[in-house]
Amino acid sequence: MEAEQVTGVDAAAGQPAASAKPRREKIVIDAPDFSDYNGIMIVVEQRAGAAKKVSWQLLGEGRKLAQKLNTELMAVVIGSDVGALAQEAIYRGADKVYLCDSEELRDYRTRPYSQICLHVIATAKPEIVLIGATYWGRDLAGAIATHLPTGLTADCTQLDVDENRLLLASRPAFSEKMLATIMCKQYKPQMATARSGVFLELPRDPSRTGAIIPVPAQMSADEIATEVLAFLEQTERVNLEDAEIIVAGGRGLGGPEPFALLQDLADALGGAVGASRPAVDAGWIGHDHQVGQTGSTVRPKLYFAIGISGAVQHVVGMQHSDVIVAINRDPDAPIFKVANFGIVGDLFSIIPAITKAVQERRQLPFAVAATAKEAVAATAG
Ligand code: FAD
């Protein structure tokens, strides 16, 4: 790092000495030596012993990066009674898991969790640390990066490494019009949070083996200033990122009322309702339902795009769905290019018919639960 220092200053007066012209000298501050930092570390997010999908997706992406760098993939699991989760992290791609299992870590709190991560990072010296860009991950990653200190690229949608082992962390920028690739050249670990639903998790492999390294809690219960009294579930908030079936509607619905039709179909399928941005901007449905570049990135087994034209900003958020069914009255709508099944027609007659077909199939004695497969079959039939 280089900085300029101005000399020739009259120290007593705080003014440049009259006779001497200020001299400028270059001072070179050596970058710290991080040559012993190696490996990729994923911090696993869990709640009540269940991991967030994004953590497994990051282990999948981390595995790819570790292969490129010819290094190991580590995970950090923190919580209470989470030993099984550490084992699960190995099945999902980790070579080594740092496990901090303690009763007082049952609920996430920034200080105790970040202290453990800082301890593990100081011990294991990973060159890259990745965390899900959830509320939890954004809070934790910011606290860790501030203490180290190092850079943090938030909300990434692409990750890669170059020949100098630099992390190329890419994220939408300038009102999501550009993809900016950000590097942290002088400090380690290089840190990034990454969006849910963008990266692919590996198939679970129970034959994988790895090391589980116990880590002591870094703070005692009485040192932790905050206490979680209760969790109040926000029942109205939709969790699109974990939904296996999404029924999404767009401007073609023409108003808020037709979302009730979509809700009926979603209920019949056991899915959630999504929306395009114009439907959200018009106030027809809440922002947590929005799919796309400025909404959620989703990867369900089945995605219905209803009255949605297929603009690129919508498609980037749902194109990785396993099966896409598009319903649009315009046969040239771009959404048909990404759809596996397309129905050209008026959504107001098609949706009730599909809902009825799904409900009838669910009543058959063998149809214990509507699955994505059954829904596709109902749609195709
Ligand atoms: P339209 O493009 O108006 O399409 C409506 C469709 O409904 C048409 O294809 C029409 O044929 C069909 N239709 C109408 N009536 C019927 C009927 N009765 N039956 C069947 N079909 C019917 N958009 C997002 O969705 N998510 C984002 O996150 C997002 N982020 C953005 C970020 C930026 C920076 C910008 C500039 C834009 C963003 N957009 C986003 C907006 C995006 O560009 C499109 O404008 C938007 O996706 C279009 O929404 P739509 O398909 O619902 O509406």
- What are the tens digits of pLDDT across the range 184-200? 999 999 999 999 888 99
Which strand (E) or helix (H) includes residue 30? none
Question: Of all protein residues, whose CA lies closest to atom 9 belonging to ligand 1?
Answer: 309
The owner of tokens 């290094």 is: 71
Average pLDDT, the chain: 89
The owner of tokens 């870094």 is: 218
CATH topology of domain 240-380: Rossmann fold (3.40.50)
Of the chain, the percentage scoring pLDDT greater than 90 comes to 75
Distance 63 CA to ligand 1 centre (A): 36
> Two tokens at 142?
């910011």
Q: What is the torsion angle, in degrees rounded to the nearest 10, for the CA atoms of residue 256, residue 176, residue 154 and residue 106?
A: 10
Distance 276 CA to ligand 1 centre (A): 6
Query: For 29-43, how does the pLDDT look when each residue is reduced to its tens digit (9 = 90+)?
Result: 667 889 999 999 999
**Residue 249 per-residue DSSP state:** E
**Residue 262 per-residue DSSP state:** H
Q: Report the pLDDT value the prediction gives residue 14, as an integer from 0 to 100.
A: 42
From the CA of 254, give the closest atom in ligand 1: 15
Pick from 308, 316, 337, 344 the residue to mutate for probing ligand 1's pocket: most ligand atoms within 8 Å of its CB. 308
Question: Ligand 1: residues within 6 Å at CB?
Answer: 175-177, 250-252, 276-279, 290, 292-295, 307-309, 311, 313-314, 317, 327-330, 333, 346-348
Q: Report the pLDDT value the prediction gives residue 381, as an integer from 0 to 100.
A: 46
> How many CB atoms lie under 10 A from the CB of residue 354?
24
Q: Report the pLDDT value the prediction gives residue 178, as an integer from 0 to 100.
A: 83
Distance 339 CA to ligand 1 centre (A): 15
Distance 274 CA to ligand 1 centre (A): 12
CA-to-CA dists, residue 232 to 103, 122, 137, 228, 229, angstroms: 21, 35, 20, 11, 10
Q: Report the pLDDT value the prediction gives residue 372, as an integer from 0 to 100.
A: 54
Query: For 108-167, how does the pLDDT look when each residue is reduced to its tens digit (9 = 90+)?
Result: 999 999 999 999 999 999 999 999 999 999 999 999 999 998 999 999 999 999 999 999
Alpha carbons 287 and 294: distance in angstroms, whole number = 10
Of the chain, the percentage scoring pLDDT greater than 70 comes to 85
Alpha carbons 149 and 144: distance in angstroms, whole number = 8
> Two tokens at 288?
């947590």
Distance 303 CA to ligand 1 centre (A): 15
The sign of the CA dihedral 110, 113, 148, 182 is: negative
Q: Report the pLDDT value the prediction gives residue 50, as an integer from 0 to 100.
A: 94
Rg of the Cα trace of the chain? 26
Same fold across 40-223 and 240-380: yes
Per-residue pLDDT at 370 exceeds 80 = no
> E-assigned strands of 141-199?
152-156, 158-161, 167-173, 178-182, 190-194
**Backbone torsions φ then ψ of 221, nearest 5 degrees:** -55, -40
Question: Of all protein residues, whose CA lies closest to atom 11 belonging to ligand 1?
Answer: 330
Q: In the chain, what are the domain boundaries?
A: 1-30, 40-223, 240-380
Query: For 30-87, how does the pLDDT look when each residue is reduced to its tens digit (9 = 90+)?
Result: 678 899 999 999 999 999 999 999 999 999 999 999 999 999 999 999 999 999 999 9
Query: For 323-369, how does the pLDDT look when each residue is reduced to its tens digit (9 = 90+)?
Result: 999 999 999 999 999 999 999 999 999 999 999 999 888 765 544 44
Threshold 0.85, pTM exceeds: no
> CATH 3.40.50.620: does it fit domain 40-223?
yes
